[in-house]
Amino acid sequence: MQLSYEGDVFMKKAGNRIIALSVMAACAFWVIDSLIDYFVFYEESFLEVFILDHRELSFRILSSIFVIGFGVLISRTFVVQKRVEEKLRGNEFKLEKLLREKEVLLSEVHHRVKNNMAIISAFLSLQSNYIDDKQLIAMFSESQNRIHSMAMVHERLYKHNNFSTIDFKEYAEALSKDLIRSHGFGMEQVGVVTNIDDTALCLNTLIPCGLIMNELITNSLKYAFKDATEPEIRIALESEDDTITMSVTDNGIGLPDEIELNQSRTLGLKIVYQLILQLGGNVEIDRSNGTEFRISFKPSEKKHYRSN
């Protein structure tokens, strides 16, 4: 924008100077030509002879003045253009320097956030070692998994030098595998199938989506596969008509009909419901063959909390 503005100002000034010199030269030539006609008409012998004899000379003088003036203008134009280019190069260098500093700063911020979350998770793990109640230990473990799902986003942002979005397919596969291991399953025991479009999600969307996915996969691993012979979790993400749809599906026993997401008493489903509101989205639950959660929302850099 700065380059375009300074270039426009430069061209306007140059054009105005050329027009001014041309008008001055035309006016001067018109005045001399009028004087010649005047003295010829009144037969002023001395002036007639002098001006007529020097008419060609006068024209050449005026032409020379115009050429010299035009040459000065051109040289001045090149000088101004050079100064503008040097200034623009200096501005570009400053912008590149600021951009590099911003990238380093953002990388450091994401790195520190990830490390701080890892420290919090470690504290929870240490604290759980002093607890004998299995239910409390499970609650601590689930909190660690929630922290881990957020830390993974920041880790991928700084590792891939992309501070706005990540490869969601890679993230979903890595998160699901970590959750399967943390719940005592082997990777050969629970299948994971992903069908994820190449859709860019901003950070304000990535964190809620990661937490939703964490809660729904955890819910499936805890309750859905008690009698399943070949348990499977399917994760999908697609974008169509400016709407993003994320689904998490299992082939387990199915969510009981009496459980409603907006009235759930379990912390995990309450978190899912609140995060969907945060995204400004809607959810559909299919219980016909296992359980499928389909969450639809509009992509946006800034999300506003939607009340129910």
- Strand segments, DSSP code E, in the chain are 191-196, 232-240, 243-250, 282-286, 291-297
Return the H-helix or E-strand segment holding 231: none
Pairing of strands 191-196, 232-240: parallel
Q: Are the beta carbons of 179 and 142 closer than 8 angstroms?
A: no
pLDDT at 32: 59
pLDDT at 306: 46
> Where are the domains positioned within the chain?
2-98, 168-308
Go through 195-210 and write b for each residue having 16 or more CB atoms within 10 A of its CB, e for each that does not. Answer: ebeebebeeebbbbbb
Task: Record the tokens describing residue 30, joined without a space.
Answer: 């018109």
Q: Are the beta carbons of 249 and 290 closer than 8 angstroms?
A: yes
The total number of residues shown for the chain amounts to 308
From first to last of the 308 residues of the chain, give the pLDDT tens digit: 444 455 555 555 555 555 555 556 655 565 555 555 555 554 445 455 555 555 555 665 666 666 666 666 666 677 777 777 777 777 777 777 777 766 666 666 766 777 788 888 888 888 888 888 888 888 888 888 888 888 888 787 777 666 667 788 888 888 999 898 888 888 788 989 999 888 777 778 888 999 999 999 999 998 888 877 888 999 999 988 888 999 999 998 888 888 888 888 888 899 999 999 999 999 999 998 889 999 999 886 554 444 44
How far is residue 201's CA from residue 168's CA, in Å, rounded to a whole number?
8
Rounded to 5, what percent of the chain is helix, strand, coil? 65, 10, 25
Residues 6+ apart with CB under 8 A from 287: 254, 255, 257
Q: Are the beta carbons of 172 and 194 closer than 8 angstroms?
A: yes
Q: Are the beta carbons of 250 and 226 closer than 8 angstroms?
A: no
Determine whether domain 168-308 maps to CATH 3.40.50.720: no
Q: What amino acid occupies position 233?
A: I
Residue 237, φ and ψ in degrees, nearest 5: -145, 125
**What is the pTM for the complete model shown?**
0.65
DSSP three-state, residue 297: strand
pLDDT at 303: 45
Residues 6+ apart with CB under 8 A from 136: 128
Whether the CA torsion 303, 298, 149, 107 is positive or negative: it is negative
Q: CA Rg, the chain, in Å?
A: 38
pLDDT at 149: 86
Burial of 214 (0-12, 13-18, 19+ CB in 10 A): buried
How far is residue 93's CA from residue 185's CA, in Å, rounded to a whole number?
54
DSSP three-state, residue 247: strand
**Which of these, 194, 197, 201, lies nearest to 157 by C-alpha position?**
201
Neighbours of 216 (CB within 10 A): 24
pLDDT at 294: 95
Residue 89, φ and ψ in degrees, nearest 5: -60, -40
Q: Are the beta carbons of 222 and 182 closer than 8 angstroms?
A: no
